[in-house]
Structure 1
Amino acid sequence: MTLTLIIALTLVCAVTYTFEITFGLAGTILMLMALSSFIDTKVLVIYSILPQILVATIGLYRSPRTVKIRFLAGMLVYASAGSLLGLYLFYYFSPEVFQRLLALAITLFGLYLVVASRSFKIPRFVQRLLDTIAGVSQALFGISGPIAMTRLLGSFDNKLVIRNYAFAFFLSLNLIRGSSYLAHGTITAEITRAMLISGPVLFVVLWYSNRLHMHVNEILFRRVVSWMILVGGVSLLMRS
C-alpha cells in the first residue's frame, strides 16, 4: 500500500468513523463503500480492527458509565452461542442462503424502525434471538451492527445508553477477532504500516469527534440509525 493510499485511507476513516462514534454504527460499511475499488476488501476488513477498537474504547472512556456488566454478559453469551452456530453453518450450510435470509431480515427490521414510533419495545425472547443472530452473522460475515442496534433500539430509550452498549458489545467481539488475527498472523507488515501511520491521527480525530454525539437529539439519533440499518440491509440484498 503506497503512502498516498494510506493518507487517503486515513482521511476516509476520519470521516466514516466520526459517523460511527456519533451514531454507533456504519463506519466500516461506509469505509468499504468508499475504498474497496482502490484497496483490497480483505485488507480493509483486517485494517478495520484498529478504528473499530479506537471508536469503542474512546466512546466508552469519554462517556458517563451506563453499561451494566450483567446485561452485556447476557448479550455476549447468546452472541457467543450464535458464533459457534455460525461456524457450524459455515461448514455445513450454504453461506449464500444465509446471507440472503440475513439481508432480508435486516431490511425488514430497517423498514419497521423507519416507520415505527419514536420508542418501541422488543419482547425478551426476540432480544435473545437477535443476540444469537448477531453472533451467527459476525462469525459468517463479520457483520453484527444492524442486528445488535435493532436489539438495543428496542431495549432502551436513551441514545447514550444505546450507543455505549453497542460499543461494549462490538469491542468485545473485536478483541476476540483481533486475538484471532494475531494468533494466525493475519495482520501483515503492509497493514501494520498503515495502522502505525494512521492510528495516531485517528486517535486524535475520534477523541474530539466523540463530542458530536452530545449534540444529536434522541429523535435524530433513532432516525439516522434506523435508516442506516435499512440501507445496510438493502445493500446486502443487492450483493447476495
Structure 2
Amino acid sequence: MELAWIALGIFILLAYTLEAVTGFGSIVIALSLGALLLPIELLLPILVPLNICMTGYLSWRYRKLIDLKLLLGMILPGMAVGTIIGYALLPVIDAQLAKRALGVLILVFAGRELLRLRTSSVSHARPLWQNRMITVAAGISHGLFASGGPLLVHALAGNTLDKSRFRATLVCVWFSLNSLLTLAFMLDGRLYPTLPQVAFYAPLLLIGVWLGERLHRHVNEQYFRIAIYSLLLVTGCLLLIPR
C-alpha cells in the first residue's frame, strides 16, 4: 500500500501540472491512473480538495482573464445542475458502465477534433441549446467522477477564447464546482478521514503550478489545442481500462 500512495503522488504531480497548462484534466488523469491501485471512492475526497487549492490560486491570479459572460451565462448554471444530479445518482448508478460510456464519448470527440486540426477544417459553433445540454451532461459526469472537463471542452469547441482566457475560465469552473463537492464530502463524512493525505500531497501542487505556468507560456496556440485533444484521447483510453 505504501508503494500505491507513492505512485499516487507521482500521478498527482503529473495531472496537476497538466491542469496548470491546459485548465482541465487533473482529476480525470489522477483518478484514472490512481484507480489502477486504489479505490475510486477513496481517491475522490483526496483529489477534489487538492484541486480547489490549485484552481483557487489560479482563478485569483488570472481573474481578469475569466470570460464572465460565458462562465455565468452558460457554463456554471448547466454544470451546477448536472453536478447535483450526478452526485445524487452516485448510490444507484453502475459506476463502471457510466465511466466506460464517458470514455467512448471522449475518444469520439477527441479523435474528431484532432482530425479536424490535421485537415485545418473549421469547428462550427453549435446551437446554444445543444451546448447547454452538453454542459449539463458534463456536470453529471463531474458529480459522478469529478471529471467534467472533457465534455465541457466538447461544449466549448469552436469558441474564440485564446489559450490564456480559456484556461482562466476553466479553472474558475473547477474551483466553483469542486468547492461544492468538497462541501458535500464534508457533510457526508468522507472528507475528514482523508485530510492527512490531502495535507501530505499539497506541496506537490506548488511544483505542478510552477512547471505548468512555464509550459503554458511556451506552448503556441496550435500546439495547445493539439495537447488538449491528445490529453482527452489518453483519458478516454484510461477510462475504458477494466478495473
Q: TM-score, normalised by structure 2?
A: 0.82
Could you tell me which residue of structure 2 aligns to residue 40 of structure 1?
39
Which blocks of at least 5 consecutive residues in structure 2 are unaligned?
A: none
Aligned letter for 1:160?
Answer: S
Aligned letter for 1:204?
Answer: L
Aligned letter for 2:210?
Answer: Y
- The answer to whether the Cα contact below 8 Å between 2:59 and 2:175 also exists between their aligned partners in 1 is no
Q: How many angstroms apart in 2 are the aligned matches of 1:95 and 1:9? A: 21
Q: Mark the CA change 1:36 to 1:97 in structure 2 (over 3 Å): closer, same or farther.
A: closer
Matched length: 237
1:81 aligns with 2:81: yes
SS of residue matched to 2:191: coil
Which blocks of at least 5 consecutive residues in structure 1 are unaligned?
A: none
Q: Mark the CA change 1:49 to 1:98 in structure 2 (over 3 Å): closer, same or farther.
A: closer
Aligned sequence identity (%): 22
Alignment map for 1:24-63 (pairs within 5 Å): 24-63=23-62
Residue-by-residue CA offset, 1:94-127 (whole Å, 9 max, x unaligned): 6666555433322221111111136524322322
Q: Could you tell me how far 1:21 is from its partner in structure 2?
A: 0.8
- The answer to whether the Cα contact below 8 Å between 1:72 and 1:169 also exists between their aligned partners in 2 is yes
Q: How many angstroms apart in 2 are the aligned matches of 1:202 and 1:112? A: 34
Aligned letter for 1:106?
Answer: I
- The answer to whether the Cα contact below 8 Å between 2:44 and 2:145 also exists between their aligned partners in 1 is no
SS of residue matched to 1:116: helix
Alignment map for 1:80-229 (pairs within 5 Å): 80-86=80-86, 98-117=98-117, 120-123=123-126, 124-189=128-193, 191-199=194-202, 201-209=203-211, 210-229=213-232
Q: Mark the CA change 1:131 to 1:138 in structure 2 (over 3 Å): closer, same or farther.
A: same
- The answer to whether the Cα contact below 8 Å between 1:50 and 1:195 also exists between their aligned partners in 2 is yes
Aligned letter for 2:220?
Answer: N
Q: How many angstroms apart in 2 are the aligned matches of 1:50 and 1:88? A: 19
Q: How many angstroms apart in 1 are the aligned matches of 2:6 and 2:239? A: 28
- The answer to whether the Cα contact below 8 Å between 1:103 and 1:234 also exists between their aligned partners in 2 is yes
- The answer to whether the Cα contact below 8 Å between 2:100 and 2:240 also exists between their aligned partners in 1 is yes
Aligned letter for 1:162?
Answer: F
Q: Could you tell me how far 1:203 is from its partner in structure 2?
A: 4.1
Q: How many angstroms apart in 2 are the aligned matches of 1:11 and 1:238? A: 20
Q: TM-score, normalised by structure 1?
A: 0.82
Residue-by-residue CA offset, 1:33-59 (whole Å, 9 max, x unaligned): 444344433222210013311331232
Q: How many angstroms apart in 1 are the aligned matches of 2:88 and 2:180? A: 18
Q: Mark the CA change 1:121 to 1:57 in structure 2 (over 3 Å): closer, same or farther.
A: farther
Q: Mark the CA change 1:112 to 1:43 in structure 2 (over 3 Å): closer, same or farther.
A: same
